[in-house]
Amino acid sequence: MFDINKLEVMDIVFADEAHERFFYEKVRELPNSRRDSEEIAMIYTLGICDKTRAAFSNIVDQRTFQVNPLVLFAGWQTSASVKVTRLAINLYTGFSQEVKRDDSIEGYHIGEDSSDYAVEEIFDCPYAKYFLEAVKLRYDI
């Protein structure tokens, strides 16, 4: 379990005030049993940009905390917000496979490992500075 009191003394860099508010609000909402570095890092990452903050409940099921892979195809996604979403998913679950839409009940299938999750791909983004913060949170650096 992540020591929530540790957040108080960490020098976390936020993209803006909305990011900081979102982060602390969502972390406080987590039950103690869910407060681990993976979830803390995912919440931080999804809070980086306004698009992923606004779509948080579409990205992550609030009851089960399962990630919805179809969100990668959502109309609101931009090239930067897709990178935010991919990094959040990867830090949370380790997921790095290609997601393809199809006509199955789920609406997608999982393919092979994807270079879309590579550091050179994800960090080629204006949010790279904050991505480093997410990695620090995930790995307690």
- The answer to whether 10 and 31 have CB atoms below 8 angstroms apart is no
- Please report, rounded to a whole number, the percentage of residues in the chain having pLDDT higher than 70: 95
Collapsing DSSP states into helix, strand and coil, what is residue 85? helix
This prediction's pTM: 0.92
Which residue type occupies 133? E
Q: Which of 35, 107, 104, 41 is nearest to 69 (CA)?
A: 107
Domain positions in the chain are 4-139
Max Cα separation, the chain? 48
Q: Where does the pLDDT of residue 6 fall: very low under 50, low under 70, confident under 90, or very high at 90 and above?
A: confident
Q: Does the structure show a pLDDT above 80 at 1?
A: no
